[in-house]
Amino acid sequence: MSEKRYEFATRVAGLLPNPLREQAKHVQEADDYIKLTYGYPSNQAFPVEKLAKISEKVYRDHAFDFMQYGETEGIPRLRTQIKERLAKYQSLDVENNDVLITSGSTQGMDLVFKIFVNEGDIVLTEEQTFVGAVNAIKSYGGTVQGLPFDFAAESIDTSALKATLEADTEHRIKVLYLIPTFQNPIGTSMPLEKRQEVYDICQAHEVMIYEDDPYGDLLYAEKTAIPKIKSFDQTGNVIYAGSFSKILAPGSRLGYLLAPKVVFEKLVLMKQVADSFANLYWQYLASQLIDDYDFNEHIDYLRQLYKEKMDTMISSLAQKSDDNMEFVVPDGGYFISVKLNDDIATKVFYEELEQRHIGVIPGNIMSAAGSGYEQYFRLNFTLPTLSEIKTGIERISEAAAAAKQTKSPVI
């Protein structure tokens, strides 16, 4: 049979498989690897017994509801619960905004870029950012433009943001995509004054902000949570995205968007085209869990579980980093960003990691341009055991030392 030539749409012809998933695939499938790669929750994080009990109740009370077609917006009870929590704990305006339940947080960003980005339009991001957002932007013919990151300020360079928007005389910049809390992959949290400054700049230039907040509940440090950018929003300039993947189960594929009502209506139309509605069974299950149990207690448990893992990784890195690497100390979330010193050959470093059966995510994969962050890599601490974390960091240190010894001197 001769091979058929397909003519794909321009917007997808140049797309490549998600490099994050491709990079980690063989590591995740291998039993003998220490996996510091994906942002997976710990199996200890899943409230299995509670969900098993609730499942019986959901089948008894809502079987026909979740087996039938459902509302695109999401089941009313869960949407109300989310709005109540956002208003109570995040001080977000739920009167002038509405909640759409999405099939995971990734669908949320896909829908937003679909309604705002035409071919040739620009979406601004942090230079190091979530690769899923990069692919979503490109899939609609958009251009991803990374903004410089000020590590000392734990923020994008706001001067660069302002200058970039002022130079956009054709108004091609449509959205600023940010992960301001426990940033992925860096792990930092943008300070309050920088959040306000970013909001003010974007509002002045009428550029939408997409505030991606999948890790926002997972604060481990003994400090007050920083208010969301959405909490400043009085003009409908910010779309806030949350997820149940990191606080309940990624298999639920439940995310949500809090958007201005006019934007909400467009998002609903696009979701009707995409998949009609998110998984109804999991919507009822999540709603019943919030009704029947103390959900804050569950989140507190996750904080304790992950804080020990994070502290173990930080302690191990501090002991083993020597003169070969430095790292960001986060206050929460899932990740720690590490930077190798410039005298370490990265190609040799990753070869050494492969030999030692250690999986990490290289920095270029988690970047807007796909390059420029050769010396960086991301570590996940939520999935591995404490023992795996300690052993993994020890082997990473060994690999860095070996790569340093083999790099040729610059003449």
Q: Which SS3 state, helix, strand or coil, does residue 327 take?
A: strand
Mean pLDDT, rounded, for 323-329 = 92
18: its two tokens: 């998600």
Q: What is the pLDDT of residue 29?
A: 65
pLDDT score, position 9: 81
334-362 mean pLDDT:
95
Tell me what pLDDT residue 3 has: 78
pLDDT band at 249 (very low <50, low <70, confident <90, very high): very high
The pLDDT of residue 32 is 79
389, 320 in Cβ contact below 8 A?
no
CA separation (Å) from 374 to 96, 107, 274, 366? 44, 29, 36, 11
> In the block, which residue shows the tokens 């510091």?
36
- Classify residue 86 by burial, with Cβ atoms within 10 Å: 0-12, 13-18, 19+: buried
C-alpha to C-alpha distance for 146 and 167, rounded to whole angstroms: 15
**231: pLDDT confidence band, cut at 50, 70 and 90?**
very high
pLDDT tops 70 at residue 133 = yes
pLDDT number for residue 216: 96
What is the reported pLDDT for 73?
Answer: 98
What's the mean pLDDT in 100-110? 96
pLDDT digits (tens, 9 = 90+) for 66-99: 999 999 999 999 999 999 999 999 999 999 999 9
Single out the residue of 95, 110, 94, 80 nearest to residue 286, CA to CA. Answer: 80
Instruction: State both tokens at 128.
Output: 């190091």
Read off φ and ψ for residue 102, nearest 5 degrees: -115, 165
For the chain, which residues make up each domain, given as ranges? 10-46+297-406, 50-294
CA proximity to 377, closest of 401, 357, 349:
349
b (16+ CB within 10 A) / e for 183-211 = bbbbbbbbeeebbebbbebbbebebbbbb
Provide mean pLDDT across the span 351-366: 94
DSSP-H helix ranges across 17-75: 19-29, 48-67
Predicted pLDDT of residue 410? 47
Contacts 24+ apart (CB under 8 A), 262-266: 262/236, 263/115, 263/236, 263/239, 264/97, 264/98, 264/100, 266/115
Give, in words, the CATH class of 50-294. alpha beta
Q: In this predicted structure, what is the pLDDT of residue 25? A: 63
Phi-psi region of 176 (alpha: psi -120 to 50; beta: other; left: phi over 0): beta
Any idea which fold 10-46+297-406 has?
A: Aspartate Aminotransferase, domain 1 (3.90.1150)
The Cα–Cα gap between 138 and 368 comes to 11
Task: Report CA 356 to chain centroid distance, whole Å.
Answer: 28
pLDDT digits (tens, 9 = 90+) for 21-37: 665 566 556 667 899 99
Range with the lowest mean pLDDT among 3-7, 170-174, 271-275, 330-334?
3-7
Give the strands of the sheet with 325-327, arranged side by side: 325-327, 335-340, 376-380, 361-362
Q: What is the pLDDT, as a whole number, of residue 198?
A: 98
Question: What is the average per-residue pLDDT within 338-343?
Answer: 94
User: Are the CB atoms for 312 and 16 separated by under 8 Å?
Assistant: no
In the chain, what's the furthest Cα-to-Cα distance? 75
Task: Give residue 8's pLDDT.
Answer: 79
